[in-house]
Structure 1
């Protein structure tokens, strides 16, 4: 996920104080297909306006990777009514902040304003959808911005190919476009013509491929009128055909080595292909991550870092996506520890999960962590806005914002053992040695 501007007013977004509260919302569709979700919370004079488009890196054509992320930048260039380079100035001058991010599956833009500027936020997002200026100077400018971002975040950043999956995904996917990185290749962007960028916008950025969410200090009736004013006349775009590519199961260990000019400490990684983020097993894998590496009392940290002092750092996390996910485990070597030794230790922890039920005490601690995470995820109107859009668009169930915790509560110790046995097997993974680039002679 690629971000541009950090929020400046986080303290104003707090709307909860340590307890879970149901998020109330209303949702409806405009005639042009735009899905609208409203959440009214008048406890602080702040409002977030967000638009999520159901287009990500997986929707790009072969030879034209990076378009979705490129548009994350390009659609801040300007519109017919917002001069080039003035978007951020308008937001800042009106006491707001804004951001955008792109994944394999969707692109999300949002502004957070004092609530008396709600109409401004709605107008700006309608401008982005209806009147963007896509021209050569904007494309050329953002091409250089994206190149610099790739250099700083991936090419010249320690472990960048792990963090952004560019050194992982090509091994895990053969047919599915998840094999490509979100940022794409600079060769593809350089080769693209202006008409191709315009065609990409026309195909994916219509109201019928978007979700508008407004959360915070609003009056629902007035907000609906403003939404009608600014969005109802935007023409519907073409119907978007979703990616529907199935991968054959991984049945044999994939062994690989990647080199990084920016590191001195080698790492051992195990990566497994996992089901869609909507699948219940994806939630179980999320819990398994917490068991293995969440905090200093976690299993891998306690064993490999504290006790055996063979790892400097450990990691285990699911990379959840709409069609398939990936589950990444790894460790950075301490001193001269061989990577094979790190692999053996990780396999020992996997084996325990596959053959033994976690203790009741560990299970209760796990449930407490996820209860706390659930409360925190709904602690700001900005976070609520993003969650509402995500649950509607990628999960097909907006009310998961309230009931997703029930999925976690329903996961048993037996489920954890079963899912570890189902997915975390040697013949179903990438075994990756991530090494410093050897000194050239």
Structure 2
């Protein structure tokens, strides 16, 4: 919703203006899924929505391209916290880029489930963190692959960083279990097929891709999962986990 100070300063006029600008037909997508007759749906949609007219946009959407990062960035924040936290982010492309399939698989390999690499190494074996995630963001614009860890009491964030970067380098060198890759492919396909079984899930799935402007990745999703190889995952790790394109944030007292 925004920052606290901004929200406190809102007026009724501000809220009405925001609603008028964004909540209108030119910004809307209607998704209807299920055992339906397409002709009836279009006729009913026109009947009930044709008289709702779009208004001139008060604030045309602006699109800025972030300049290429020219070196690693580090930030240290000091807040009241019982434990230290660390986040490391790497630049990745938008949701429609072909590399997103391998990036998603890499995310699964790193941090999804008890047997994932980060969970096993840093939570179970080393007992350095109590929570750790590594995931790719699939946004309309270029985004981030984000690692986020909550350290155990007494553990320095830099120690976790060292271990995490070592794991990243091992993946880039090809240290990935073929069996784990196949397991991820099987699970991902099963989850995808299951998501197509209900009308509401189907509507949400297509609606999300339509809202981001391209449904092609969705139409070829299962095919691309089938083609995914261990080498694809290693290549995206080498391509995007580049120190010069990283941003590290540490939070401590």
Question: If the length of structure 2 is used for normalisation, what is the TM-score?
Answer: 0.88
- Give the secondary-structure state (helix, strand or coil) at the position aligned to 1:227: helix
Q: Write out aligned runs for 1:173-322 (5 A).
A: 183-238=1-56, 241-261=60-80, 263-322=81-140
What are the Cα deviations for residues 59-113 of structure 1, in whole angstroms up to 9, with x where unaligned? Answer: xxxxxxxxxxxxxxxxxxxxxxxxxxxxxxxxxxxxxxxxxxxxxxxxxxxxxxx
Kindly state the Cα deviation for residue 226 of structure 1 after the two structures are TM-superposed: 2.3
Q: Aligned equivalents of 1:253 and 1:434: distance in 2?
A: 17
1:295-348 Cα shifts (integer Å, max 9, x gaps): 111111111122222222221112321112121113222342222111111111
User: Do residues 365 (structure 1) and 180 (structure 2) align?
Assistant: no
Equivalent residues, number: 252
Match of 2:234 in 1: 417
Q: CA RMSD in A?
A: 2.4
SS in 2 for 1:327: strand
Tell me the residue number matched to 1:383: 201
SS in 2 for 1:211: coil
CA contact (8 A) 1:254 1:430 kept: yes
The one of the two structures with greater contact order (alpha-carbon pairs below 8 A, sep at least 6) is 2
Does the CA contact (< 8 Å) of 1:273 and 1:428 recur in 2? yes
Whole-Å separation in 2 of the counterparts to 1:297 and 1:414: 21
Q: Identify the structure with the greater helix proportion.
A: 2
Alignment partner for residue 432 of structure 1, among 237, 241, 249?
A: 249
- Cα deviation, residue 217, structure 1: 5.0
Deviation at 1:211, TM superposition (A): 0.6
Mapped partners of 1:187, 1:309: distance in 2: 39
Contact 1:205 1:237 in 2 (8 A): no
In the TM superposition, residue 241 of structure 1 has moved relative to its aligned partner by 4.3
Q: Is the 8 A contact 2:99 2:236 kept in 1?
A: yes
**Which segments of 5 or more consecutive residues in structure 1 lack a partner in the other structure?**
1-182
* Cα separation, partners in 2 of 1:241 and 1:414, compared to 1, 3 Å: farther
After superposition, what is the alpha-carbon deviation per residue over 1:358-385, rounded to whole angstroms, capped at 9, x for unaligned? 3322221121121122123224322211
Provide the rounded CA distance (Å) in 2 between the counterparts of 1:187 and 1:285.
Answer: 37
Unaligned residue ranges in structure 2 (runs of 5+): none
> 1:276/1:195 Cα in 2 relative to 1: closer, same or farther (>3 Å)?
same
CA distance in 1, matches of 2:223, 2:79: 42
